Amino acid sequence: MAKALFKPLPLNSPELFPVNIFERIPENHPVHLISDVVDKLDISHITAEYKGGGTTAFAPKMMLKVLFYSYLSNVYSCRKIAKALNENIYFMWISGNSTPDFRTINNFRGQKLKHHIHDLFTEVVKMLQELQVLSLDIQYIDGTKIESVANKYTFVWRGSVEKNKAKLEEKIQKVLGDIDQQIQQDNQEANQQDISQKIDSNLLKLKLGEINQKLKESSKSTQKQIQKLQQEHLPRLEKYEQQLQTLGNRNSFSKTDEDATFMRMKEDAMKNGQLKPAYNPQISTENQYITHYSIHQKPNDTTTLLPHLEGFKQKYNKQSKQVVTDSGYGSEQNYEMLEKANIEAFVKFSYFHKEQKRGFKNDPFGIQNLFYNQEKDFYVCTMGQRMEKVCDTKRTSSNGYESTISIYQAKNCQGCPPEVVHSEECVIKLKQIGEWKSIIGSTNSKRKQEHYC
């Protein structure tokens, strides 16, 4: 039987010239591409973050190369990156055998890059444009919800804060009135008029200062009320005011991540859609490359299109000629904005998919199925009654956009069954949308009037 032979171990065989382990990296490996891209970036705005004096710092471009390759390799932990710099030949090559520890990597990412990461992203996109890979003339826009790491039970709702604040203000005014009756008798009427003012934390502090100056010999109950105002009511009032300031135009936020807004997330495997603290990022793509992104605190996509396009124009000093989105962005404000900006829009209106269903087409009470006389401007209901235009009214959206609503109503409903008289067809509200155009595929079509009940 022949004897088995095994290859000798390289480390046990002496060599005149040591082996260069970097020769094992293929020429088409991503580390070479990342290194070439970062070398062409202008990072003067990052180097300006460094202060002179002290010991030497790791080269910013080397740190950028390490972070870019780490993210490409799905490695995000600073400790894992620091470990790879000592164990992985690709990390060794791209770092030039530099070994910054995890604190250095974390400080560079959290402090030096905090306000410049979007600028770096823009520079890379401009490189692709110069290479004619991208034209930036078209944007395919879509969004998603990204859940925050905050606890979902740390919510603060605007309605609850405003309700509790109103109750507290009413209680404070009652306590101030009781104290005022005890310590002021001469100018009671003037003080009662002053107490009726809207209470906030600054006014409450001023009132407490005035009371303390006037109060020399008072009863124990009065002292107790003043102490309760200072130690209990004033901190609560300041907390509600701070929460309303944090909310801004939002309806909710998380206590542990105040930038996150509670949004309805997509259904999970059990088809449970839950309200969780999250963000609404919007992404523009072209030729399967991400060309622009923006983070929003509003859950509705219709309210994000305008600031997203403005951010694109600000970054690249130009606007796309075409915009393609789904029906989540269809709104009167967005159609008008795109038309004024001379942008060719491929945007479905919000009722597009609903109009394809049989129930929608066969609904006898739906506005889309009623006869409309365009010349005389009236509708005919299912029971044969003419529905004349009653008036126009205004409606303001959450973005402050004002729409015109026309109301049509039947003059005589006598003889109609009770279920029809109280149905939605008796009063119809229509949004006046003029000459909106929703381009579906390559066909221009007038935006249909929406039915509101």
Indicate the helix (H) or strand (E) that contains 156.
strand 155-157
With respect to residue 344, please indicate whether it lies within any of the assigned structural domains. Answer: no
pLDDT number for residue 344: 93
Q: 24 with 79, same domain? A: yes
- The CA distance from 172 to 165, in Å, is 10
- One-letter amino acid at 258 equals E
With respect to residue 289, please indicate whether it lies within any of the assigned structural domains. Answer: no
pLDDT number for residue 62: 95
pLDDT number for residue 74: 94
- The CA distance from 326 to 338, in Å, is 14
- The CA distance from 400 to 93, in Å, is 54
Of 205, 238, 253, the last residue of a domain is 253
Contact 22/89 with Cβ under 8 angstroms?
Answer: yes
Q: 17 with 110, same domain? A: yes
- One-letter amino acid at 194 equals D
pLDDT number for residue 341: 92
Q: 103 with 166, same domain? A: no
Contact 247/158 with Cβ under 8 angstroms?
Answer: yes
With respect to residue 163, please indicate whether it lies within any of the assigned structural domains. Answer: yes
Q: 99 with 25, same domain? A: yes
pLDDT number for residue 55: 84
pLDDT number for residue 451: 33
> Taking the CB of residue 215, how many other CB atoms lie within 10 A of it?
14
Q: 98 with 162, same domain? A: no
- Assigned token pair, 405: 């609503």
With respect to residue 307, please indicate whether it lies within any of the assigned structural domains. Answer: no
pLDDT number for residue 229: 85
> Taking the CB of residue 175, how many other CB atoms lie within 10 A of it?
14
Buried b vs exposed e over 237-253: b needs ≥16 C-beta within 10 Å?
A: beebeebeeebeebebb
Q: 106 with 193, same domain? A: no
Q: 169 with 87, same domain? A: no
With respect to residue 126, please indicate whether it lies within any of the assigned structural domains. Answer: no
pLDDT number for residue 433: 38
Rg of the Cα atoms in the chain: 33
- pLDDT values of the chain reduced to their tens digit, one per residue, 453 residues: 788 888 777 666 666 666 788 888 999 999 999 999 999 999 998 998 888 788 889 999 999 999 999 999 999 999 999 999 999 999 999 999 999 999 999 999 999 998 899 999 999 999 999 999 999 999 999 999 999 989 888 899 999 999 999 999 888 888 888 777 776 554 444 445 455 567 777 877 787 777 766 655 556 677 778 788 888 888 999 999 999 999 998 999 999 999 999 998 876 666 677 889 999 999 999 999 999 999 999 988 999 999 999 999 999 999 999 999 998 898 888 999 999 999 999 998 888 888 888 888 888 777 778 888 888 888 888 777 888 888 888 888 777 788 888 888 887 776 666 655 554 445 555 544 333 333 333 333 333 333 332
Q: Which of 265, 264, 234, 260 is nearest to 246 (CA)?
A: 260
Q: 35 with 107, same domain? A: yes
Q: 395 with 444, same domain? A: yes
With respect to residue 131, please indicate whether it lies within any of the assigned structural domains. Answer: no
With respect to residue 339, please indicate whether it lies within any of the assigned structural domains. Answer: no
Instruction: Give Cα separations from 131 to 135, 138, 200, 449 (angstroms).
Output: 10, 17, 59, 45
> How much is the pTM?
0.75
Of 253, 285, 301, the last residue of a domain is 253
pLDDT number for residue 194: 53
Q: Read out DSSP for 348-393? A: --TTHHHHTSHHHHT-TTSGGGSEEETTTTEEE-TTS-EEEEEEEE
Q: Which of 430, 424, 423, 426 is nearest to 447 (CA)?
A: 430
The count of structural domains within the chain is 3
Of 227, 253, 279, the last residue of a domain is 253
pLDDT number for residue 448: 34
Contact 276/148 with Cβ under 8 angstroms?
Answer: yes
- The CA distance from 249 to 307, in Å, is 15
Q: 247 with 179, same domain? A: yes
Q: 25 with 97, same domain? A: yes
- The CA distance from 34 to 30, in Å, is 6
With respect to residue 146, please indicate whether it lies within any of the assigned structural domains. Answer: no
Contacts of 261 (CB under 8 A, 6+ apart): 250, 251, 252, 253, 277, 278, 279, 280, 297, 298, 299
Q: CA angle, corner 88, sides to 82 and 91, nearest 5?
A: 65
What range defines the domain where residue 63 resides? 12-115
- The CA distance from 215 to 208, in Å, is 10
Instruction: Give Cα separations from 416 to 166, 312, 381 (angstroms).
Output: 47, 55, 11
Q: 111 with 160, same domain? A: no
Q: CA angle, corner 253, sides to 304 and 150, nearest 5?
A: 105
